[in-house]
Chain A
Amino acid sequence: MQTFNFLAITPEIAVAALTLILLAMGLLIPDGARKGMMPLTVFGLLGILGYTVYDFFFGKMGPAFQGMYFHDAFADFFKMLFLVAALLVVLSSGEYVQKFPAYRGDFYALLVAAILGMMLMAGAADLLTFYVGLELMTITFYILVGYMPHDGRSSEAGIKYLVLGAASSAILLYGISFIYGLTGSTQLYQVAMGLGSKVNPPVILATVFVLAGFGFKISLVPFHMWAPDIYEGAPTPVTAFLAVASKAAAFAALIRVYLVTLENQSFAQTGIALLLILASLTMIIGNLVAIPQKNIKRLLAFSSVAQAGYLMVGVIAESVPGVKGVLFYAMIYVFANMGAFAVATYIGQAQGSDEIRDYAGLARRSPLAAAVMTASVLSLAGIPPLAGFVGKFYLFSAVMDTGYQAIAYIGFVMSMVSVYYYLSIVKVMYLGEGEGLPDIPVRGAAKFAMVFAMLITLFVGIYPSPLAQMAMAAANSLLQ
């Protein structure tokens, strides 16, 4: 009989069990007493996060399940990222979830199920395992995006995401079927051997199709059209999770597929032009279109499109420092973006509006929220001494070492452009009058999430080496 190393997927099993427990609890607990769901989710996730951190440093690594699954530091790094993002989402959205018009017990169960899908994507060593993880994540998100049944915009966003997501999955599967047809395998290392280093039309077709499928998930231009509408319509905590974790999961799989499968492919040389153009377009369009936005969620949506462009720069570098840059930036992007979204969730829920002009005078009305928002957007813009600066420094220096100067310069210029619209939020908050708008004291778990995100953003910006070393270890585990 075959032996299965279940130790390799302990976090996944724990997350799956937590999903079922939360689902069952949601059914068992009476309507009035559902406040306890949030702490339960938080402690469950904390426990799994603790194990994953232990596993990252001391776990026994190696492929599992006959090469269907990788259990390495790279996957563990992303698992930590998903869990941290989920924790921040859950902590910052407690009150928001309480006030859902029709409170059903399944919000947290769905959120945790999405984490399971992401973990599978990060660890997948087989295109089909990866695809199953992707679908688990995406289908959960279809439900979460359209979670408010009587809100027209939420339903519209859900349907849009469903239709576009199905189309992108079809393209991705078509690409995977080409790869299977060419190599007779879906396991990444065997695909890599099967493809060899020759380039022919079907190989290019397959890789471009797979890239289009990934591009949709990470909202790479020209596959970014869905992002603003869906980010605006979805419930804000879901938007936050979608912008951070699902993007990171797609990057995990993208890096794995591109750097493992296509490492000795000459597509790396011919197709690099395509990646360079797409990444530059993503940075340019994401940042320029963000400027005129009036709604905070739409602005953060376009900013997250631009951030995907920066991350793509690290993938293009195709080196250990490049991957390390992506990992590092993805992690600090979680804290910066979650900080901004935690504020957006809280303020949006308190004022019933997501328009930026309603943030006027927030510095006076809610000093903590304004400070967290400022730190977060300045980190996203890459202003020292915040973490975003260090992250961008790693990304752009990696790509310049590989020899692509032009894209790094585009990145610099667009980062400066982004400062404008990020600072315009800060300007409204600190210089706006805000007559007649309510005072919003920040309380409870949301306060903790905001302060925690801000402190990490500051801390990593001043003292980046622990996180950088972890990212380095993870990158090394992938490319050795």
Chain B
Amino acid sequence: MSNNFAAVGILLIFAIALPVIMMLMPKILAPNKPHKEKLTTYECGNETIGRTWIGFKSNYFLYALVFTAFDVETVFLYPWALTFRKLGTFAFVEMFIFIVILLVGFWYAWKEGALEWM
């Protein structure tokens, strides 16, 4: 078992060494003449205007959360609907409980104003 890990070790050493060599080579071989334009960030988007520490509306996340809950519910409902006849009353009760739990959560989200846009 341990012998197989020798290969992993060699791969690890190689994986670390390669980028180090690649970064060292230009340092040694290439001519080094920095000036202002060269030192600016290259292709990382536009320079920002104004403060960038602004708040985002958290309403987006609330919508996303409620959406996810019902998305997952659908995932469970489809297979349940397909095999409903075979599973019988037990599955029906189970799914009923599941939906009731979800609905209480949905009611809570509604009442607490998660669905209202500011």
A412 to B1 CA separation, bound complex (whole angstroms): 43
Q: Quick one: closest B residue to A109, CB to CB?
A: B108
A24 to B105 CA separation, bound complex (whole angstroms): 9
CB contact list, A65-105 vs B, under 8 A: 104
Q: A1-B90, A201-B2 are in contact. Are A20 and B107 (CB under 8 A)?
A: no
Chain A residues positioned under 8 Å from B107 (CB to CB): 24, 27
Q: A27-B111, A104-B112, A106-B108 are in contact. Are A20 and B101 (CB under 8 A)?
A: yes
A83–chain B nearest beta-carbon distance, Å: 21
A325–chain B nearest beta-carbon distance, Å: 37
> Within 8 Å of chain B (Cβ to Cβ): is A428?
no
CB contact list, B76-118 vs A, under 8 A: 88, 90, 100-101, 104-105, 107-108, 111-112
> Within 8 Å of chain A (Cβ to Cβ): is B5?
yes
Q: Quick one: closest B residue to A20, CB to CB?
A: B104
Q: Is the CB of A200 within 8 A of B1?
A: yes
> Within 8 Å of chain B (Cβ to Cβ): is A23?
yes
Chain B residues positioned under 8 Å from A200 (CB to CB): 1-2
Q: Quick one: closest A residue to B88, CB to CB?
A: A1
Chain B residues positioned under 8 Å from A23 (CB to CB): 104-105, 108
Q: Quick one: closest A residue to B1, CB to CB?
A: A200
CB contact list, A14-28 vs B, under 8 A: 16, 20, 23-24, 27
Contact bitstring A181-219, B, C-beta under 8 A = 1, else 0: 000000000000000000011000000000000000000
A15–chain B nearest beta-carbon distance, Å: 13
Chain B residues positioned under 8 Å from A106 (CB to CB): 108
Contact bitstring A394-425, B, C-beta under 8 A = 1, else 0: 00000000000000000000000000000000
Q: How large is the interface on B (under 10, 10 to 19, 20 to 34, 35 or more residues)?
A: 10 to 19
Chain A residues positioned under 8 Å from B101 (CB to CB): 16, 20
A201 to B7 CA separation, bound complex (whole angstroms): 14
Q: Is the CB of B5 within 8 A of A27?
A: no
B94–chain A nearest beta-carbon distance, Å: 10
A18–chain B nearest beta-carbon distance, Å: 12
CB contact list, B36-70 vs A, under 8 A: none
Chain B residues positioned under 8 Å from A24 (CB to CB): 104, 107
B28–chain A nearest beta-carbon distance, Å: 37
Chain A residues positioned under 8 Å from B108 (CB to CB): 23, 27, 106
A27 to B111 CA separation, bound complex (whole angstroms): 7
Q: Quick one: closest A residue to B112, CB to CB?
A: A104
Q: Quick one: closest A residue to B100, CB to CB?
A: A20
A165–chain B nearest beta-carbon distance, Å: 18
A23 to B112 CA separation, bound complex (whole angstroms): 12
Chain B residues positioned under 8 Å from A104 (CB to CB): 112
A16 to B104 CA separation, bound complex (whole angstroms): 12
A325 to B37 CA separation, bound complex (whole angstroms): 69
Chain A residues positioned under 8 Å from B1 (CB to CB): 200
Q: Which of A1, A16, A201 contacts B5 (CB 8 A)?
A: A201
A201 to B107 CA separation, bound complex (whole angstroms): 50
A276–chain B nearest beta-carbon distance, Å: 26
A104 to B104 CA separation, bound complex (whole angstroms): 16
Q: Quick one: closest A residue to B87, CB to CB?
A: A1
A207–chain B nearest beta-carbon distance, Å: 16
Chain B residues positioned under 8 Å from A201 (CB to CB): 2, 5
A80–chain B nearest beta-carbon distance, Å: 26
Chain A residues positioned under 8 Å from B105 (CB to CB): 23
A24 to B104 CA separation, bound complex (whole angstroms): 7
Chain B residues positioned under 8 Å from A1 (CB to CB): 88, 90
A104 to B109 CA separation, bound complex (whole angstroms): 12
A201–chain B nearest beta-carbon distance, Å: 6
Chain A residues positioned under 8 Å from B2 (CB to CB): 200-201
B12–chain A nearest beta-carbon distance, Å: 13
Chain B residues positioned under 8 Å from A20 (CB to CB): 100-101, 104
B55–chain A nearest beta-carbon distance, Å: 13
Chain A residues positioned under 8 Å from B5 (CB to CB): 201
A104 to B114 CA separation, bound complex (whole angstroms): 14
A319 to B101 CA separation, bound complex (whole angstroms): 42
B91–chain A nearest beta-carbon distance, Å: 9
A200 to B2 CA separation, bound complex (whole angstroms): 7
Of the A-B pairs whose beta carbons lie under 8 Å apart in the complex, a sample of 11, sorted by A's number, is A1-B88, A1-B90, A16-B101, A23-B105, A24-B104, A27-B107, A27-B108, A27-B111, A200-B2, A201-B2, A201-B5
Q: Interface on A for B, CB 8 Å cutoff?
A: 1, 16, 20, 23-24, 27, 104, 106, 200-201
Q: A106-B108, A200-B2 are in contact. List 7 more A-B contacts (CB 8 A).
A: A1-B88, A1-B90, A20-B101, A27-B111, A104-B112, A201-B2, A201-B5
Which 7 pairs across A and B sit closest by C-beta, in order of nearness? Answer: A27-B111, A200-B1, A20-B104, A23-B108, A24-B104, A23-B104, A201-B5
Q: Interface on B for A, CB 8 Å cutoff?
A: 1-2, 5, 88, 90, 100-101, 104-105, 107-108, 111-112
